[in-house]
Amino acid sequence: HMDEESGKVVHNNASTDADPTPKSITPMGGFPHYGHVNEDFILLKGGVFGGKKKHVMLRKSIVTPTYGAASEKLDIKFIDTSSKIGHGRFQTFEEKDKVL
C-alpha cells in the first residue's frame, strides 16, 4: 500500500491504522509448513482451495459484482503475528526480549 505522508510504497508490513507497530507479516517462527514471507503479499478474505504452496491466479471479474460482500470496505484493525506453533503470545522479537 502507499504511505500517505511520504508517498513511499510500503512492502511486507503488517502494521495497520489501529496497530502502528512496524512488523513483518510473517509470524514469529514462520508459517507452519511454509516458512517466511519475503515478498509482497495480498490478504484474501475467506478460504482458498488447493495445496499450501499452490499458485493462485487472480483475475478481474467480467461482470461487476453488486452484492453486499463484494462492495464492502474492509477495515483491518489487527494482524496477528504471534507464533503459530505452541502458545505464541508475542507479536515481535523486541516485545519478547523485553519480557524475557
* Element (DSSP H or E) covering residue 97: helix 93-99
The pLDDT of residue 45 is 74
Query: Which residue, among 48, 71, 69, 68, has the nearest Cα to 58 in the 3D structure?
Result: 48
DSSP letter, residue 31: B
pTM of the model: 0.57
Q: Give me the chain's average pLDDT, please.
A: 77
82, 99 in Cβ contact below 8 A?
A: no
Per residue in 63-98, pLDDT (tens digit) is: 887 777 777 777 778 888 888 777 778 887 888 888
Calculate mean pLDDT across residues 35-47: 78
Calculate mean pLDDT across residues 29-36: 81
Cell numbers describing residue 8: 513511499
Residue 37 pLDDT greater than 70, yes or no? yes
